[in-house]
Structure 1
Amino acid sequence: MFSKLMACFITGLIFLIDISLLAQDQKLADSLIHAYKEGNYKDELQVLQEIAEYESDPNVALTYSVLLIEKALTQSNHLYAHSGYLQKGNHLQSLGNYIEALQAYFKSEEHAALAGDELGKAGVLIAIADTYSEMGNSSNAKSYYRKGLKEVRQINDSVVLATTLLNAGDEYLKTKNYDTAMQYFKESGIIFKILDVPIGLAYNFGNSGMVYAETGNDSLAEKNIMQAIVILEELEDYHPIAVYLTYLSDIYLRKNDIEKAFSYAEQSLNLSRQQNLKKEISEAHLKLAELNKTVGDYEKAYGHFEDHILYRDSIRNIEAVQEMARLRTENEVAKKQTEVDLLEQKEKTQSAIVVATGIGMLFIGLIAFGLYRRNKFISRTKSIIEKERNRSDRLLQNILPEETALELKNSGKVKSKRFDSVSVLFGDFVGFTRYSERLSPEELVDCVDFYFSKFDEIVEKYGLEKIKTLGDCYMCAGGLPFPVKDHAQRLTLAAFEMQEFVSTFKAKSELASERIKFNIKIGINSGPVVAGVVGTKKFAYDIWGDTVNIASRMESHSEPGQINISESTYKLIDHNFICEHRGEIEVKNKGLMRMYYVKGIKEHARKMIDFKEPLLENK
């Protein structure tokens, strides 16, 4: 299904009208970026909008989308703010950040309404529908398609109407509501034919063909899909062709024409490999596995099925990482259970001693021998219990701060505690999802562990507390569980070491492992928090409060290779660190906030560090 691809098509139509301008153009984007940096432009908002549209790297495009939003809001220009939020949503969607994409689209809709741009508002509704479709939320997707269609019909823009009908039909096709899907496809097909829009006709033919294939009308399915492929080959749009070829393979399998079924499946696989379409490679291998099984070649069928699983898992590598982390946690809990089992064994053993003593009164001659053996057994059991208890204590201290672990061990629970002044750091790898697609789950876990293990060493070096990791995000804090005056300075020094470690490995030979390719962006905020232990079985030490939320916002508003801090942190470290004021930046649910980049350590502070003296807070 191709609703997401068509979303880009319709968005371009809304803002540019000229279809020839819709494709991303990296050369043009590079030229515009150069002109912007040199100050060689007439309209700053317009050049930022064009960079956000033409830039092919979603992370770079996202940066300029955010900059466009900031500039437009400063000038109260709702039309460009609407465009900036829309572009931000598009690029977040392409990175798989669907929740943030939806938030951007909702803001885009607000500014489109304020600007009186009805066509823009309709386009945002359709983009929201497409995003829900990508998330698998069919109910919300259909609801927004209906809203979008209602708006578009009132505006009376034929191309946008046809594209919206095609996207909505695609959603009904995915949910097997074939009658409604075909109704939308027929209406959009008529419009695309009258307006002579080749890409629209191609998708219309292809999706109609898939409906016919699903409903058993193989002749019409083949006719429509072949028409779609002819047009798409001329347009060099290969992604849908790879999918349509697997449908043709299905059709000929039902006709019992195995030779043609194999031919179309192999064509799909070859095309998908040429275009590096992982999902389609996976599906083509699955189809070839089915075909080889049908002809009794089980060895080839198994080989293709293994390749299908390999590519399918590479698409789901983030879920695989999370699953492996879950298994690691369960293994640690299993170790704790060992201690409980051994304690139960001790109780059983002691009961056995009492019984043995009673029997020994009747058999005095056996007492010495019996007690000797049992005492030896008890000694071994105690040794095992002590060993496992020590292991359990070490595990608990790895999970929780020492003071908290001791409180939990003694009382069975931990009271939450307020800290009036701490500093919180969030670090996040840039482009993690894009790089992770090229790695197996095992390589990805090894890569994350490689960086986070070093971060753990840095945190321990500066007397900080690691809080948790979430995917590729690392969170730590200074000033707890034992308050210290220089928590902000310690955390900033740690941030510099983390950046230096990531940069050092990234700068190494091109032949080096993928794990050295990342950039990291860091955010720090200071203030009060509440700390405590979550859970009753799988314990987790965590912190809460507005300070934590703002630290996360500092990270999200940072840039690769930068340490972005709030004003509260700046006041604690500016005496010892070189800080660059970024101005006031709009922060979600917080309004405008002052932010600073930490650029280095002042000379007098560097000498103190060299002589191992503490960096105290400003006087």
Structure 2
Amino acid sequence: MLLKKIAHYLIMGLFCFTANFSMAQDQRVADSLVHIYQENKLEGIDKLKLLDELSFNELNDQILQIKYADEMIVLAKLNNDSLFLYRGYYSRGVGYQRQGELNKAISDFFRSLKIANNIKNKNSIGWEGTSYMSIGSVYNNMGNHVNSEKYYSIAIEKIRITKDSISLGSVLLNAGDASFNNNQYEKALQYFEEAGIIFENIGFKIGTAYNLGNIGMVYAEQGKDVIAEKNINEAILILEEIKDYYPISVYLTYMSEIYLRKKDYITAFNYAERSLELAQKYNLIEQIRDANHNLFELHELTGNYKDSNIFLKNYYIYRDSIVDIKTVEELADLRTKYEIEQNQKEANLKIAQKQIEVDLLDQQKKNQQLISLAIGIGLLLIIIVAIGLYRRNNFVNKAKLLVEKEKEKSDSLLLNILPEQTAEELKYKGKVQAKRFESVSVMFTDFKGFTQNSANLSPEKLVESVNYYYSKFDDIIDKYGLEKIKTMGDAYMCAGGLPFPTKDHPIQMVEAALEIAAFVNESKKTDPDAMSRFDIRIGINTGPVVAGVVGKKKFAYDIWGDTVNIASRMESNSEPGKVNISDNTYQLIKDQYQCSYRGEIDAKNKGMMKMYFVEGILQNQTSNAGV
């Protein structure tokens, strides 16, 4: 049970890294570093170290942990730093697993494993062991005990080589938890006994706490309630000291079950309610589910059927919200299939290259034979051949010019609807591989009252009016190096940070949005009586997206993801003439722009979200116009 997160609390940062990383997780460390992060004064390697410490020690807020890891991944890529890229993917995988998003977690763990395999230095074997252990932990969550034991065995083998006591104790602890989940209690206790000796010898508090709690759970399952309660209470005291609340929530559930077996319902209720309270406070989805189920059983046993139905309903809600484990297995299968296909493509390419070389050699031999034959035939035949070649050369040149003109036309048309990089991929491969971009700014615009006002315009006048605005919008986004995605009636959509990742896309997007708003406002003043002038709403959000080309005809380059949906909600909740941005975008531009906080606003299908109006550039900043 406790394997749900133990690997990730103990392993991050333990394999002989040269920087001053923490040797054990501690929420108090993350809390103490927040003000440094908020000052936003660090850069380069110092910023990477800070983000690593924050993501490593953030135990209670998975969303915040993932945010720190996302920033670390982006910055590590910009600095070409493999170590922090490995740690960024690994830490983000930890956050996703704690949220119950197993498909995202295993994807990031595989990425970290690939990086470790490619680094090949004295520390990489330990990093590989960490990744193998995490993959094993996901399979343990899934109930796939065969694969879980397989990956744990590889992890133990590699980590023993590193002589790293904390890491070895951690993987033994998790392997024991996997055996516990498979009802192999004696085997689990053997693992825990070895892990406990290691942790006690080095004075590793958090490892000792988890080991005590796990042993307590084994004894609880065996009905040895007194010794189980003693071990679990000792574990809770240590975990409360370091503010690590997830395992406390798990242990409280077990304490509730112990007292339920004793028919001490009051104490059982007390432990179950404390477990639910902690799980809800820190958004621990799986434990919210388990605590609701525990309270359902308690109320049903005590005859309180009204409340038992409420907790049963909540249990089903949270059970169904956790990602289907089959998704994770299918993802692993897809990764294996993809690697096989890539290897096959490389093999096919080598075969094709060899065939081309053979054909060229054959062609050269044939040409030499033709030349010898032509010389032997005599001057007359040479003249005839020369005349024929001259005419053929003229024909080929004319045909080549015609082909080049048509190619230029088709290239120009393709570049008008697709980014250059995407167009090149489509021409040479015949298809476009969808790509994920970790940081993209997305903008939506929409004309207020367009449907009502357009009813009073002729179709010709309506098209003229929309073209008037969109032509200027196109010029503005080109000016700031942004990418137009599409138009949908009176809605205009563009993005920054793709197809080539950039650092300043949030700034450029806000600059473009302010210029569009100013242009629309000025248009009303210069032509106040025209029926073709409108007010505009603008919304911006920043985050990860997937981009690609859809369809076989009339290709369309598009982007997908929650980032796009939130950007649309920013626009629909904006006001005429205003640029409304999400909290994600605000955190990236707040040092250069004056923004007014609107509070948390209910966004359709998204719940309450923080929103800000961009009022203008700060007085001590200069505009990026013309960049």
Distance between the aligned counterparts of 2:561 and 2:297, measured in 1?
A: 48
TM-score with structure 2 setting the length: 0.50
Report if aligned partners of 2:76, 2:84 keep a CA contact under 8 Å in 1.
yes
2:552 matches 1:531: yes
Aligned partner of 1:145 among 152, 160, 177: 152
Distance between the aligned counterparts of 1:237 and 1:493, measured in 2?
A: 49
Alignment-derived partner of residue 296 in structure 1: 303
Residues 113 and 312 (structure 1 numbering): CA distance in 2 closer, same or farther, change over 3 Å? same
2:23 matches 1:19: yes
Aligned partner of 1:226 among 229, 233, 243: 233
SS in 1 for 2:552: strand
SS in 2 for 1:19: coil
**Residue 120 of structure 1, CA deviation:** 3.0
Alignment-derived partner of residue 45 in structure 2: 45
**Residue 206 of structure 1, CA deviation:** 1.0
Alignment-derived partner of residue 183 in structure 1: 190
Distance between the aligned counterparts of 1:109 and 1:312, measured in 2?
A: 34
Matches within 5 A, 1:533-552: none
Alignment-derived partner of residue 113 in structure 1: 120
Aligned partner of 1:260 among 253, 267, 279: 267
Residues 88 and 221 (structure 1 numbering): CA distance in 2 closer, same or farther, change over 3 Å? closer
Distance between the aligned counterparts of 1:27 and 1:227, measured in 2?
A: 26
Distance between the aligned counterparts of 2:268 and 2:2, measured in 1?
A: 23
Matches within 5 A, 1:46-195: 46-55=46-55, 57-71=64-78, 73=80, 79-80=83-84, 82-87=86-91, 89-90=93-94, 93=97, 96=101, 97-114=104-121, 116-195=123-202
Structure with larger RCO (C-alpha < 8 A, sep 6+) = 2
Alignment-derived partner of residue 591 in structure 1: none
Alignment-derived partner of residue 217 in structure 1: 224
1:492-550 Cα distance to aligned partner (Å, 9 max, x none): 446943779xx99xxxxxxxxxxx99756556567xx8739xxxxxxxxx99xxx98xx
Report if aligned partners of 2:149, 2:175 keep a CA contact under 8 Å in 1.
yes
**Residue 240 of structure 1, CA deviation:** 1.7
Mean alpha-carbon deviation: is it higher for 206-215 or for 241-250?
241-250
Q: Which amino acid aligns with 1:287?
A: N
SS in 2 for 1:497: strand
Alignment-derived partner of residue 31 in structure 1: 36
Distance between the aligned counterparts of 1:497 and 1:518, measured in 2?
A: 12
Alignment-derived partner of residue 497 in structure 1: 493
Distance between the aligned counterparts of 1:154 and 1:420, measured in 2?
A: 45
Residues 113 and 138 (structure 1 numbering): CA distance in 2 closer, same or farther, change over 3 Å? farther
Report if aligned partners of 1:159, 1:191 keep a CA contact under 8 Å in 2.
yes
Distance between the aligned counterparts of 1:64 and 1:206, measured in 2?
A: 34
Alignment-derived partner of residue 396 in structure 2: none
Q: Which amino acid aligns with 2:133?
A: I
Report if aligned partners of 2:195, 2:211 keep a CA contact under 8 Å in 1.
yes
Residues 162 and 291 (structure 1 numbering): CA distance in 2 closer, same or farther, change over 3 Å? same
**Residue 314 of structure 1, CA deviation:** 4.7
Residues 318 and 189 (structure 1 numbering): CA distance in 2 closer, same or farther, change over 3 Å? closer
Residues 283 and 79 (structure 1 numbering): CA distance in 2 closer, same or farther, change over 3 Å? closer
**Residue 285 of structure 1, CA deviation:** 2.7
Report if aligned partners of 1:521, 1:559 keep a CA contact under 8 Å in 2.
no
2:8 matches 1:7: yes
The share of aligned pairs that are identical, in percent, is 30
Report if aligned partners of 2:10, 2:166 keep a CA contact under 8 Å in 1.
no
Where structure 2 has 5 or more consecutive residues not aligned to the other structure, the ranges are: 59-63, 327-426, 455-481, 496-508, 515-538, 569-627
Report if aligned partners of 1:65, 1:88 keep a CA contact under 8 Å in 2.
no
2:216 matches 1:243: no
Tell me how large the CA RMSD over aligned residues is.
4.9
1:70-106 Cα distance to aligned partner (Å, 9 max, x none): 2454xxx654554455445445555631342133122
Distance between the aligned counterparts of 1:159 and 1:425, measured in 2?
A: 41
SS in 1 for 2:14: helix
Report if aligned partners of 2:260, 2:268 keep a CA contact under 8 Å in 1.
yes
Matches within 5 A, 1:159-558: 159-315=166-322, 491-493=485-487, 496-497=492-493, 519=542, 531=552
Alignment-derived partner of residue 369 in structure 2: none
**Residue 203 of structure 1, CA deviation:** 1.0
Q: Which amino acid aligns with 2:30?
A: D
Distance between the aligned counterparts of 1:419 and 1:99, measured in 2?
A: 33
Report if aligned partners of 2:220, 2:258 keep a CA contact under 8 Å in 1.
yes
Q: Which amino acid aligns with 1:48?
A: L
Q: Which amino acid aligns with 1:25?
A: A
Distance between the aligned counterparts of 1:558 and 1:306, measured in 2?
A: 32
Residues 108 and 133 (structure 1 numbering): CA distance in 2 closer, same or farther, change over 3 Å? farther
1:133-174 Cα distance to aligned partner (Å, 9 max, x none): 345443333222111211222222222211111111112222
SS in 1 for 2:263: coil
Report if aligned partners of 1:113, 1:121 keep a CA contact under 8 Å in 2.
no
1:218-265 Cα distance to aligned partner (Å, 9 max, x none): 222222112222222223322222222221222222223333333332
Residues 517 and 47 (structure 1 numbering): CA distance in 2 closer, same or farther, change over 3 Å? closer
SS in 1 for 2:219: helix
Distance between the aligned counterparts of 2:190 and 2:148, measured in 1?
A: 18
Residues 558 and 148 (structure 1 numbering): CA distance in 2 closer, same or farther, change over 3 Å? farther
Residues 70 and 423 (structure 1 numbering): CA distance in 2 closer, same or farther, change over 3 Å? closer
Report if aligned partners of 1:52, 1:64 keep a CA contact under 8 Å in 2.
no
Report if aligned partners of 1:88, 1:104 keep a CA contact under 8 Å in 2.
no
Q: Which amino acid aligns with 1:497?
A: M
Q: Which amino acid aligns with 2:47?
A: V
Residues 556 and 274 (structure 1 numbering): CA distance in 2 closer, same or farther, change over 3 Å? closer
1:577-608 Cα distance to aligned partner (Å, 9 max, x none): xxxxxxxxxxxxxxxxxxxxxxxxxxxxxxxx
1:262-283 Cα distance to aligned partner (Å, 9 max, x none): 3332333344344443433332
Report if aligned partners of 1:92, 1:100 keep a CA contact under 8 Å in 2.
no
Residues 80 and 170 (structure 1 numbering): CA distance in 2 closer, same or farther, change over 3 Å? same
Report if aligned partners of 2:11, 2:170 keep a CA contact under 8 Å in 1.
yes
Q: Which amino acid aligns with 2:36?
A: S
Distance between the aligned counterparts of 1:82 and 1:68, measured in 2?
A: 12
How many residue pairs were aligned?
377
Alignment-derived partner of residue 527 in structure 2: none
**Residue 214 of structure 1, CA deviation:** 1.4
1:552-588 Cα distance to aligned partner (Å, 9 max, x none): 7x989999979xxxxxxxxxxxxxxxxxxxxxxxxxx
Where structure 1 has 5 or more consecutive residues not aligned to the other structure, the ranges are: 320-417, 432-450, 462-487, 505-515, 533-541, 563-619
SS in 2 for 1:296: coil
TM-score with structure 1 setting the length: 0.50
